């Protein structure tokens, strides 16, 4: 039974990965992110406009943020990222990680977390 469960879980992970690639493109990077209320940083797979992490207990963390193509079409979004990130960031250097840091909305197990809480 354990081998069967392991095979099912692996198949589910592969399906999830292929769906994420279709929706958001290739994974941009994987980074540990500090989340308010969590003791340790959480490792997220970051795509263009979406980031996801599932911990060992099955809790799902997701973030949504503007995609790079939207940022490139809106000077105000570019300017806000450059202002927020600082360090001489140039508009040509903006990445999905920069967008996530500046504009993300966090969901835990599908529930939006209000940054005001």
Write out the chain's pLDDT in tens, 117 residues. 465 555 545 555 555 778 888 888 889 999 999 988 888 999 999 999 999 998 878 888 999 999 999 999 999 999 999 999 998 899 999 999 999 999 999 999 889 998 654
SS3 content of the chain, % helix, strand, coil (to 5): 45, 25, 35
pLDDT at 37: 82
Residue 19's pLDDT is what? Answer: 82
Q: Report the chain's C-alpha Rg in angstroms.
A: 16
Q: Give the three-state DSSP class for 16.
A: helix
**Which pTM does this prediction carry?**
0.79
Residue 67: what pLDDT? Answer: 95
Residue with tokens 């797979």: 45
Inter-residue long-range contacts of 49-57, CB under 8 Å, 24+ positions, other chains counted: 49/24, 49/96, 49/99, 50/20, 50/23, 50/24, 51/100, 51/104, 52/20
Secondary structure element (H or E) that encloses residue 45, with its range: strand 42-47
């Amino acid at each position: 039974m354990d081998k069967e469960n392991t095979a099912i879980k692996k198949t589910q992970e592969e399906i999830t990965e292929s769906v994420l690639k279709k929706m958001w493109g290739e994974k941009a990077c994987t980074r540990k992110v500090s989340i308010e209320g969590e003791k340790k940083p959480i490792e997220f797979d970051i795509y263009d406009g979406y980031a996801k992490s599932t911990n060992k207990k099955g809790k799902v963390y997701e973030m949504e943020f503007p995609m790079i193509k939207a940022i490139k079409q809106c000077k105000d979004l570019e300017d806000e990222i450059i202002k927020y990130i600082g360090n001489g960031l140039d508009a040509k250097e903006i990445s999905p990680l920069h967008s996530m840091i500046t504009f993300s909305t966090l969901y835990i197990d599908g529930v939006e977390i209000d940054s005001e809480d």
